[in-house]
C-alpha cells in the first residue's frame, strides 16, 4: 500500500469567484446548483459568503463536462456522481494492489507496475506494462529474493 500519504491533503478552501474562474461555471450557476443540492459549500455559521472545498472543483468540472456534452443538469450531476463512485473503486484497487512502479523510459512515460502475487499462485507475479505498444498485463515468475 503506497497511497496512504497521498490522502494527507490539506483542505484548501476557495470562494465562489475562484471556483467560477477555475471551472468556467458562472457564479449564478454555482449558487443555483447549490440551492438544488447538486453541490455543497462548507457549512459555516458565521460567514455570509460561500466557501467550497477545493475538491468540489472536480465535481463542478465534471458536471460542466457532461453539460457541455448535452446532458441535462440533473443527468450531468448523476453522471458526475457515478464517475466519482467509480473513481473511488478504482482508487481503492490501485492503492491496495500497486506495490511498486518502475520507470523504464522517463521520456515516453513507459514503465512497469508491480501488482503483486497472482491470487492462488505465489510463484507468479502480475505486472502492468506500459510501453510503445500501449498497456498490457504480464504474468512472470516470482523473482528470487535478494536476501
Binding site for DNA (CB under 7 A): 15-18, 26-29, 31-32, 48-50, 67, 73
Shortest distance (Å) from residue 20 CB to DNA: 7
Closest CA to 67 of 92, 34, 35, 33: 33
CB of 80 or CB of 130, closer to DNA: 80
Quick one: 18 or 131, whose CB is closer to DNA? 18
- 5 versus 45: smaller Cβ distance to DNA: 45
Question: Minimum distance between the CB of residue 33 and DNA, rounded to whole angstroms?
Answer: 7
Task: Provide, rounded to whole angstroms, the least separation between the CB of residue 50 and DNA.
Answer: 3
Smallest gap from residue 11 Cβ to DNA (A): 18
Q: What does the angle CA 122 – CA 123 – CA 127 come to, to the nearest 5 degrees?
A: 90
DSSP result, 33-48: HHHTTSS-PPP-SS-S
C-alpha dist (Å) from residue 46 to 17, 27, 59, 108, 144: 19, 21, 25, 51, 61
Q: Are 57 and 20 in contact (CB under 8 A)?
A: no
Q: Which residues pair with 129 in a beta bridge?
A: 112, 136
Amino acid at each position: 500500500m503506497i497511497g496512504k500519504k497521498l490522502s494527507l491533503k490539506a483542505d484548501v478552501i476557495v470562494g465562489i469567484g475562484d471556483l467560477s474562474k477555475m471551472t468556467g461555471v458562472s457564479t449564478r450557476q454555482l449558487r443555483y446548483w447549490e440551492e438544488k443540492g447538486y453541490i455543497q459549500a462548507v457549512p459555516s455559521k458565521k460567514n455570509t459568503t460561500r466557501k467550497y472545498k477545493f475538491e468540489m472543483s472536480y465535481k463542478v468540472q465534471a458536471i460542466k463536462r457532461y453539460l457541455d456534452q448535452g446532458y441535462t443538469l440533473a443527468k450531468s450531476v448523476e453522471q458526475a456522481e457515478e464517475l466519482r463512485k467509480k473513481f473511488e473503486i478504482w482508487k481503492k484497487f490501485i492503492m491496495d494492489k500497486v506495490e511498486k512502479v518502475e520507470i523504464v523510459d522517463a521520456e515516453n512515460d513507459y514503465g512497469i507496475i508491480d501488482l503483486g502475487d497472482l491470487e492462488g499462485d505465489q510463484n507468479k507475479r502480475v505486472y502492468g506494462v506500459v510501453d510503445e505498444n500501449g498497456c498490457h498485463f504480464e504474468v512472470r515468475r516470482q523473482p528470487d529474493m535478494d536476501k
